[in-house]
Amino acid sequence: MDDARPNRRRFIAGAVCPECRAVDRIVLEDADDVRRRRCVACGHTDELVRESAVEPSTRLTRRRDTDGGVGPSPVRILDPGDGKH
């Protein structure tokens, strides 16, 4: 039995074919480390270049040491005093 991955195909919602201008007819095919777009209406194909994209820095992905190496700081619990809020 062949252990190769089968071709994965996904339709791209809202995509317009650059050749025949058909809407919702573009399929994205992944095969043999090549990503290709193909129009199922007219057969137009083009290959997409795979580049390792740099992930933008967000609050979830930025470095954990953003405090300059100061370390953890203690938390003070304040007594409300008379109990009024």
Q: What is the pLDDT of residue 59?
A: 75
Question: Which parts of the chain register pLDDT below 50?
Answer: 1-3
Residue 37 counted as domain residue: yes
Residue 12 counted as domain residue: yes
Residue 61 counted as domain residue: no
Domain count, the chain: 1
Q: What is the pLDDT of residue 1?
A: 42
Q: What is the pLDDT of residue 69?
A: 58
Range of the domain at 32: 8-48
Residue 84 counted as domain residue: no
Rounded CA separation 14/12 (Å) = 6
pTM over 0.75: no
Q: What is the pLDDT of residue 53?
A: 67
Q: What is the pLDDT of residue 7?
A: 67
